[in-house]
Structure 1
């Protein structure tokens, strides 16, 4: 039996057991978060992602499970006078543990990124990975931390796809001003192990962030700015994100 199959089966069984433990707890002992984000840039890259996170309610060390799905489309140059289009659909379950306090949280999760799609004419696996999602399936590990009691509020995310050898990191600094939050973000992503002598894809983006509180448990935020990678020309990007947290059940 292939090692990849063994790992997928182990993750599936472990994830099912952990999610069952969370869902089997008494009513009101779980807390859910729903999130959705859409991003586009000037190089015809677009991604839409929706997901849900469920964890044990209260403070301290709790189990957590995350399910998210996305659609990604982007172009990249295959010849000097021709671009190819890549369209991908992905689904990623993750499970792990988190520590939750009155002013912040830290989560460590492991899962599997399931990807299917078509490359629009590219041969083999020559297309670069884009936006942390655009390669192939693989085991993923994620570390996420945030604070909401500090001034400014801080957010950090690092996720690695071991199948694609791809690292995606994001950081935000946000100063709350009533219902508004103003700040900045930066994203760094890199394919760390491209095969066949191909250049590793690298991308940097940064810009301002504006968050609007819709209620005490929901918000929408806009981020946009400058984006540069080693495959295409520098361009702009824009991202819209909705989050609804504190859903008890």
Structure 2
């Protein structure tokens, strides 16, 4: 899933490769992906890309008074090519939409059968419900605003910091990395962290996200996924040694997702309850 660092990098990539270029073709090939109908998607043709920014994990492309707001969800991606095919993509395929510029263009694709990528063409990004509901951006948080965001939260820390209404931009992978760097249990109660734990969490958010952006921004769009994986210390590393203490990275699995952590670094050596395994052992 593209998170704050990758979306930041994609915005920078598009500013460099398509900024100031005119749209020559704009095609939707998956009707479900477009959440708006007025103005029509074809309105982009003839317009110039003025800017590319982000709101949390939403990518915002500015074309004059219009914004194309994209959410790449869990399995979506932006694929750039310097030489777009003259043949339009087929309806119902892996490509949801295609935007072609004077020099180059991009497809929005999504792997798997569950389709969650969305696109909206609006005059104000706040018209997109997901954007309007975002909490403070993870990169804008100072120590006090982080404490304020978590105050009174009774949920597990892992779930709270990926809730975009509470903190915008952090997803499953970087939350694992942040909690590992802060030496905090994913199951800790978010609103009951001590002052020292809040300090550690604040420092880890800044460290992990800043490092990921430094590694990602300026890179080619096609290489960002690999760059993300190369910097992960616990996420998606179940069964491998923790690079800090050498303990085996453990996993907790749910119906459609999982997270990883180090028992020695984060939970005092305890293994967290894995509901999937608990069901199998009944």
Same fold (TM over 0.5): no
Q: Normalized per residue, which structure has more strand?
A: 1
Greater helix proportion? 2
Q: Which structure is larger by alpha-carbon Rg, 1 or 2?
A: 2
TM-score normalised by length of structure 1: 0.28
